[in-house]
Amino acid sequence: MQGLMIAGTHSGCGKTTVTLGVTAALVARGIPVQSFKAGPDFIDAGLHRLASGCTSINLDLWMCGDDGVLSSFCRYASMGDIAVVEGVMGVFDGAQGSAAIAGMIGLPVILIVDAFGMAESAGALVLGFTAWAANSGISIAGVIFNRVGSEQHYRRLLHAVSGVEVLGYLPRNSVAEIASRHLGLVTADEVPMTRVQVESLAALAEKHIALDRLIDLSEMQIEPCERILGRGGRIPITVRIAIARDVAFSFYYEENLDLLREAGAEIVAFSPLWDSALPADVHAIYIGGGYPELHAERLSANGSMLSAVREFIASGRPVYAECGGLMYLSQGIHDPEGRFFPMVGALPFETNMKQRRVRLGYREITFTGNCILGRAGSTMRGHEFHYSEIASDISGLDTVYSVADAHKTELPPEGFSVGALLASYIHVHFGSNPRTARNFVNYIKEKIWKR
């Protein structure tokens, strides 16, 4: 098995840029790449698809635990000739961050250093990181510099580093710049990089990075995968689930959808922005997160789809929504300029967009009632990150989540339940509780039988 982790000294040092460049260059050579993203981030994982042409998978120790992460890595890594894992934050940030994942799986680490405004001092920085790695049980196998100003600049950086192999660099270049906004980078569905830009980034990586040596360094032990049991075969399709998927709704843990397929669901995509009706003969709807606030005018103007979703909910069929999906199912969205855009109206509150982030962090859910995700008393984990808030008093609403953060601090109840509709700001990872996908499908089947 071949695999490596591209990790950085800090957030914003260029991990995503280098990951995209290396991945696209390897694919251009005819080497299939299976990409992964450490941590809960949807956007970076989506961007990987632009370079690899394949779905990228999140690896998150806090949400899914050691066995869940190992299982995901081993299952999906076999789909490519080499696994490329993009780290999260700085390589040593967080007890369950990049270093922990690399150490558990056995991935060699390629350290990304932002060289802007720095020359010989890079040697001291790299020396510190390699020494810390030796004490942390991981191996920094090589260094790649980002935002290098010239060949002369690179030579100064190269001569300053000792004790670890320097594999090359990416130059300061507008090709490597990815547009960003309040939740992070622009999503892959919004095409933040054209095909020409991806190909140009691949050409830069081919020219300036020692890819042959990078491939050599990616040799890894396969023992971690030998103790992971399979999840069993896929059962026959029993339900059809409509998944909202367009530029407004694109935040999904791809493994959630695969787990639903394994549990007997057929996944059918639709666009709340552009479609006039739901797919035919679907038994449930799943609306993930994204940027509905950026497309609120168009979503609100698509009256036929709003009516279709409204009628579907009124029929008693199950609907599950997360974050942006919650906003879409609310009475409407207030944008920062004070404009109001009516939405589906299935939830008895409106949402307000704020200039500052409202919530960020890991969440552990204990179900206080039975719902589409599980039964009362069971638990699962997820992540919350949004700039909107509910605009009215919700103290009297029915909820089925008792919520705590990663430090066990209790948070307000969540999981708003209206009939067979469940909506929440929390993005849950089905891998955090192996029964979730089966619960989801079985709940849908129970509702079908009752109708």
* Rounded to 5°, angle at Cα 48 from 43 and 53: 130
Q: Are 381 and 62 in contact (CB under 8 A)?
A: yes
Q: Where are the beta strands (DSSP E) in 189-343?
A: 239-244, 249-251, 265-270, 284-287, 289-290, 319-322, 332-334, 340-342
265 closest CA partner among 450, 68, 429, 442: 442
DSSP 307: H
**The pairing of beta strand 57-59 with beta strand 166-171:** unpaired
CA distance 234 to 105: 26
Q: Please give the Cα distance from 279 to 288 (Å, whole number).
A: 17
d(CA 67, CA 72): 8
Longest dimension (CA), the chain: 73
Closest CA to 204 of 440, 428, 14: 14
Active-site residue, selected from the candidate residues 13, 54, 64, 323: 323
Nearest to 41 by CA among 257, 362, 321: 362
Which of 430, 436, 432, 437 lies closest to 264 in space, CA to CA?
437
319-322 and 332-334 beta bridge pairing: unpaired
Cα–Cα distance, 140 to 131 (Å, whole number): 9
Residues 243 and 440 sit within 8 Å (Cβ to Cβ): no
Q: Which amino acid is at 148?
A: V
- Please report how the helices 436-450 and 254-262 are oriented relative to each other, as an axis angle in degrees rounded to 10: 60
Cα–Cα nearest to 176, from 154, 189, 193 = 193
**Which residue's structure tokens are 């999503």?**
187
74 catalytic per annotation: no
Residues designated catalytic: 323
